[in-house]
Structure 1
Amino acid sequence: MKQKKIVSRVVSLIFLMSVLGMGSLFAQKASPASDFKYDLNEAGDGIVIQAYLGKGGDVVIPSKIEDMPVVGLKLQMIHNFNFAPITSLIFPDSVTFIEFAEGESESIANKKLKKLVLPKNLKIIGDSLFAGAVNLTELVLPENLEEIGYTSFIEIGSDTKTGIKSIVFPKKLKKIGFRAFYMCNNIQSITIPESVEYIGEAAFGWCKNLVSVTMPKKQIEYDGDAFNNCPKLTLKERKKIKDTGYTGKF
């Protein structure tokens, strides 16, 4: 009996150590506050990041800076994220907006970026925000996302064979903007939820390997040829799209 108890305890200890080891493996340390330029928000109860000052690599936006929550990004052109060789960019769920300062607009992605994890409470992905991330292989969209701006993800993953092949859009999404996923050549399937009301022109244009679509069972407002130059869509898949009110080209 004693021998069985000892064996049982040893097994439990090994299991606990393996779990703790895996936890530490997957835990990602936040980047230091010194890697960012930041200020208080207007209410004075949160931090807004204005620029990235670090050297690149794996960047994890901290959820707190100076014991205050990081609530958003309002970016200035100088020292922007796309100027550094960032390979992964992970946002904390405390962030509710990512935008540019007035009069400024540019992608914050670069050709080195492979992984992008967005905060679950982000509702709007701004225009051109992650355009040109041609080596992106992992994209986690926010569960509360409502709008994807124009050219937000243009050409993502297009320069790698392991690029993003499937996108399941969040169940609260309402709008997919002009050329949002234009020339995303690795995408093979998309799932558009019932919540979507609008899809812009060329939103999925030139997605040459798109073969499968899951569409809402309702009418959608389209602006132009949202699925132009998607040659691998079969007649059956095209009918699914047409049944939602699409009259454009394929």
Structure 2
Amino acid sequence: MIRIGILNKSQIGVEYIQKIQQFKEFKISGSLNPEECEKSQYAKESLLENSEAVYIAHNGTLEKDFLKMILRKSKNIFLQQAFFSKLTDIKELISLQQEAECIVQINNPYLFTSDVLKISSTLEKPQLTEISINLEEKGKLEFELLNVLLYLSKTDNSGYRKIDVFALQGEKHFLLNLHMQFISGSVAQLNIYMGEKSKSSCKVSIFQKDKVPVNIEITNSETQVSASEKNSLKEFIKSHKNKDATTLSLNDLHLALSALHEIKEKLKYPNISLSN
């Protein structure tokens, strides 16, 4: 069994404990909430000493020093979601991870859906990926975009050659269009729309030479989000056992954050922000 400690983002954290308890491969070694982490260095060190791996739930930002401490102790890490960070900080974390030879798995609501995992091994390059997303509120835009960029960074894995950005912003409507070219020759077309009455939805279409197009619908329903994280945890367990697995790493995050930074820079001239 894998001894795993839980760092949760709520005071109680029962939901995270219940998630881990679904797997017979895990044995929970302890759980800390944000207040306990902040007040007691001993509690954090004690949790790590008794754990082989750490499950981290967070709100999009992480205490980098604590993450460094986990890596220096060569503990495998499961991150419930991606996080924003300076590119220099990510590079430092990557260096520490390589030195420690440990696993860092980042959950992603696109990559780890069952439909995507089923076809991931059959995809061939070059390919055309079209993604259409409707969002109910702009407050989620930047994080949603980071998740999409992570998914694309992983599925192509060759790196971005060029990103063209177009946006329209009104009082009640917002449209972001991205045309992304990859070094492999693949292309991705992304449209994110937010309107006064728009409902959250996501459709992914993948076109390949001499193959039937693949169409996938991804929802943000609690059921699908939970199933996606469960799939990600299964892949994390495979990695821990040195088996072939689908992983999303800090290197993938660095590539996605680099693309996000470029997109934000290109939106400065029309004075468009992704965060409000």
Q: TM-score, normalised by structure 1?
A: 0.29
Higher RCO (C-alpha under 8 Å, 6+ residues apart) = 2
Give 1 or 2 for the bigger CA radius of gyration. 1
Tell me which protein shows more helix as a share of its residues.
2
| TM-score (ref. length: structure 2) | 0.27
